[in-house]
Structure 1
Amino acid sequence: MSFPLLAPALQGLALGLGLIVAIGAQNAFVLRCGLARRFVLPVVLLCAVSDALLIAAGCLGLGTLIAGQPGLLRLVAAGGAAFLAWYGLAALRRALHPQALAAENGLPATLGRALATAAAFTWLNPHVYLDTVVLLGGISAQFPGIERLAFGAGAAAASFAWFLALGFGARALTPLFARPAAWRVLDLLIALVMFAIAAPLALSAWRG
């Protein structure tokens, strides 16, 4: 990559990491897959590829269209709030029952269901559209031509790097999560995160 393309790519990488490195529903699910050592690579690839597609769409101009469709964002917010609330209740039930504190217990039984859950965390979250399509897409508009593509590639690389590190790096935490108390704390934190995200989503969908 030539130097003129390196600068926008690094900006995209830095901004992408700044947006994605946070405790959220999608990251919590990837972390749990990593701790259980199940479905890690397929789930990581689904999340990263989904981000890359949304970033590409934003850089190609879809962000302007999404920003002009508040009804669409409200619909996604309502669906996302319902899904997150359901998943939060499931995590809370696991935390309150000692027999449910196994790593695999918080995951779907099959790969197809795990991918469907990861897709729901990704595509039913309106914040992902605001972060990737609208925000990153809007910022990319300041770059001309191929530099815009370099910016988008840097942002997409941030997603791949983060999800790979989160999914496979979770194995380093395995000794900690050999204790049931650690799973109880994790599930309680997951439940709180899910409810904290679901509440404002439901409110925004209700207010319209």
Structure 2
Amino acid sequence: MLALAATGFAAGLALIVAIGSQNAFVLRQGLLRRHVVPVVVLCTLSDVALIAAGVLGVGTLVSQAPAVLTALRWAGVAFLLGYAVLAGRRAWRGGESLRVERGTGRDFAGVLLTAGALTWLNPHVYLDTVLLLGTLANQHGAGGRWVFAAGAALGSAVWFAGLGLGARGAAPLFARPSSWRVLDALVAAVMVLVAVRLATT
């Protein structure tokens, strides 16, 4: 059972470690130290829900609903391009810092909505997490599939916690506004690349 959970852990990490729009956002919030724990929890719980859906067979339905995936794809493209514009504008203007801000309730809601949109408006998450991980999990029988899924979910939790909370180690580098300009430029580029990939697949 431990080996099966470890296999699920490795599979889950393999699918989320690549730099993408969601990871870039979690990293940025971690550097800002702004609503990091809620963002990490939201991303982790979203992955848990998606993995569980895959194990329960929702992946089969997703693969048979091209219209839903198409709608999600174009909504995701629009959202990613919009976020890329905002990141590009921050990079152009500069002025970001590691100053800790309390943040308003509106800011908190906006951060969570952005994290949720970057997760749920990406159709690849349904194909990778739901369909692929669901298929891999269901190869291990009625009991083993949930052990595999638990390992995959743990992989997500470890990754997002490490990315968000571990970003503090890079704080000295980001004490300079120029570093923020570079990061925001990279975030904008990642968002555009992911949007282009969504639009052309």
TM-score by length of 2: 0.94
- Say which of 41, 60, 63 aligns to 2:59: 63
Native 8 Å contact 1:88 1:191 kept in 2: yes
Aligned residues: percent identity?
53
Native 8 Å contact 2:63 2:131 kept in 1: yes
Please name the residue that 1:191 is paired with: 188
Native 8 Å contact 1:48 1:156 kept in 2: yes
| Structure 1 stretches of at least 4 aligned residues deviating more than 3 Å after TM superposition | 99-105
1:121 counterpart = 2:124? no
1:96 counterpart = 2:89? no
What is the DSSP-based 3-state SS (H/G/I as helix, E as strand, rest coil) of the residue aligned with 2:127? helix
Q: Which runs of 5 or more structure 2 residues have no equivalent in the other structure? A: none
Backbone CA RMSD of aligned residues: 1.8
What is the DSSP-based 3-state SS (H/G/I as helix, E as strand, rest coil) of the residue aligned with 2:117? helix
Please name the residue that 2:48 is paired with: 52
Distance 1:18 1:58, change over 3 A: same
Please name the residue that 1:110 is paired with: 107
- Separation of aligned partners in 2, 1:100 and 1:39: 16
- Say which of 146, 167, 170 aligns to 1:170: 167
Please name the residue that 1:81 is paired with: 77
Please name the residue that 1:131 is paired with: 128
- Say which of 118, 138, 142 aligns to 1:145: 142
- Separation of aligned partners in 1, 2:97 and 2:184: 9
Q: Which runs of 5 or more structure 1 residues have no equivalent in the other structure? A: none
What is the DSSP-based 3-state SS (H/G/I as helix, E as strand, rest coil) of the residue aligned with 1:22? coil
- Separation of aligned partners in 2, 1:151 and 1:199: 33
| Deviation (angstroms), 1:100 | 4.9
What is the DSSP-based 3-state SS (H/G/I as helix, E as strand, rest coil) of the residue aligned with 1:99? coil
Native 8 Å contact 1:102 1:183 kept in 2: no
- Separation of aligned partners in 2, 1:43 and 1:140: 26
Native 8 Å contact 2:97 2:176 kept in 1: no
Native 8 Å contact 2:57 2:134 kept in 1: yes
| Deviation (angstroms), 1:10 | 0.9
| Deviation (angstroms), 1:144 | 0.7
Please name the residue that 1:72 is paired with: 68
Q: Deviations over 1:62-116 (max 9, x none)?
A: 11111111111111000000000000011111111133566779x9952111111
